[in-house]
Amino acid sequence: MTGECSRRTHRLVKSTVLILGGLTWIVSAVALGVFLYQYMVQGAGLQVIGLGVSSTSVLVGLAHFVGIVAAAGLCFVIGVGLCVHGLVPLPVREPSGEQKATLHGSSK
């Protein structure tokens, strides 16, 4: 009985940690999205050269945009993966015929 209770507690703690970790990654992705929105609203790369729009400032803004989108996407995917692993229970495997015989005390 103690072994079964210990396994349940271990699984519950593991699931909780995975879900909390996943939510942390998802919150990070949302924070990057908010940062990206603010960055786009404020000019996205125009801060590099203050003389106006140039090809350098456009390329810097594009590089930042693509990098932040990639980072936010990666954070989101990792977060969803962790949450799914925390929410979906492990499959229960049926013991094979030889293992059943061993479990019931009869051996060949």
Q: Is the pTM of this model over 0.75?
A: no
**Structure confidence at residue 106 (pLDDT):** 53
Query: Does residue 39 carry a pLDDT above 70?
Result: yes
What are the backbone dihedrals phi and psi of residue 87, each rounded to the nearest 5 degrees, phi first? Answer: -90, -30
Q: Over the chain, what is the mean pLDDT?
A: 82
DSSP 52: S
Distance (Å, whole) CA 99 – CA 106: 10
Domain boundaries, the chain: 11-88
| 73-105 per-position pLDDT tens digit | 999 999 999 999 999 877 777 766 665 556 555
**CB 72, CB 39: distance < 8 Å:** no
**Structure confidence at residue 60 (pLDDT):** 82
* Helix, strand counts (H, E) of the chain: 3, 0
